[in-house]
């Protein structure tokens, strides 16, 4: 079954509760649909718009990735269109290459974040022990040089 | 590279200087296939206000 990705933007003036509810509504809509599988659901929160849309300069971004029948997409768009709080939306059909590429990108980002977190933890413990030993700082800093094996971009 | 994600604003921004126009291949040096993907990605990003259509 085809995989789609939909992004929609809501007015920035919503309260947290409204914003939450809005996201859930559409998430639920896709989940409940016949033969559909929700793959990802993100909220990017308030972001600055590249140009004014209906007089707003910021918007609340929502992102969904799901597998569903075309009819579901149509219905989702129809509802988004009618909702006055939603100021823009865009649905895209993803090719297999696209899905793979996106998944890889996500994995890499997660790995990088994990590596960074680990390095910070090590640095923190190192600093703690230095303070106890009274400033024996010179030997410890060579550890960082080998870790960046996949930063080849 | 297999797929240029229209959500990847940082990547895309390198290909639209001042004015917001898409850079021609001869200037940016990208290959034909990637240029086509870039074009599509930029246009999509513009449609959801992640990139501008024009700037003055």
> Ranked by mean pLDDT, which of A34-43, A142-151, B1-10 comes out on top?
A34-43
Q: Is A1 on the interface with B (CB under 8 A)?
A: no
Cα dihedral sign, A124-A129-A133-A139 = negative
pLDDT of residue A5: 92
SS3 content of chain A, % helix, strand, coil (to 5): 50, 30, 20
Using DSSP's 3-state secondary structure scheme, residue A69 falls into coil
B27-43 b/e with 16+ CB inside 10 Å = b?
Answer: eeebeeeebebbeebbe
pTM of the model: 0.76
Counting one residue from A and one from B, how many pairs have CB atoms under 8 Å apart? Answer: 41
Exposure string for A50-63, b = 16+ CB within 10 A, e = fewer: beebeebebbbbbe
Q: Are the beta carbons of B48 and A102 separated by less than 8 Å?
A: no
Give contacts of A98 with chain B, Cβ < 8 Å.
2-3, 5
8 Å CB contact of A100 and B47? no
| Alpha carbons A21 and A72: distance in angstroms, whole number | 20
- Beta-carbon separation of B3 and A95 below 8 A: yes
Q: Which strands make up the sheet holding A37-53, listed edge to edge?
A: A37-53, A56-67, A3-10, A86-94
**A59 close to B (CB below 8 A):** yes
What pLDDT does A80 receive?
92
For A32-91, how does the pLDDT look when each residue is reduced to its tens digit (9 = 90+)?
Answer: 888 888 998 989 889 999 899 999 999 999 999 999 999 999 999 999 999 999 999 999
Q: Which residues of B touch A50 (CB under 8 A)?
A: 46, 49-53
CB contact under 8 A, B44 and A97: no
């Amino acid at each position: 079954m085809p995989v789609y990705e939909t992004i929609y933007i809501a007015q920035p003036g919503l309260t947290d509760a409204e914003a939450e509810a809005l996201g859930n509504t559409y998430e639920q809509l896709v989940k409940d649909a016949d033969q559909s599988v929700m793959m990802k659901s993100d909220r990017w929160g308030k972001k600055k718009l590249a140009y004014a849309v209906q007089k707003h300069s910021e918007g609340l971004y929502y992102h969904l990735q799901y597998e569903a029948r075309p009819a579901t997409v149509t219905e989702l768009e129809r509802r988004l269109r009618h909702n006055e709080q939603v100021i823009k939306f865009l649905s895209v059909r993803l090719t297999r290459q696209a899905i793979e590429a996106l998944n890889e990108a996500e994995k890499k980002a997660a790995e990088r974040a994990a590596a960074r977190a680990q390095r910070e933890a090590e640095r923190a413990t190192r600093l703690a022990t230095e303070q106890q030993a009274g400033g024996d700082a010179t030997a410890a800093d060579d550890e960082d040089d080998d870790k960046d094996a996949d930063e080849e971009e | 590279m297999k797929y240029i994600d229209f959500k990847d604003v940082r990547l895309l921004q390198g290909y639209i200087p001042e004015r917001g126009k898409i850079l021609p291949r001869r200037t940016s040096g990208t290959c034909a296939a990637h240029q086509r993907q870039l074009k599509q990605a930029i246009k999509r990003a513009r449609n959801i206000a992640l990139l501008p259509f024009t700037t003055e």
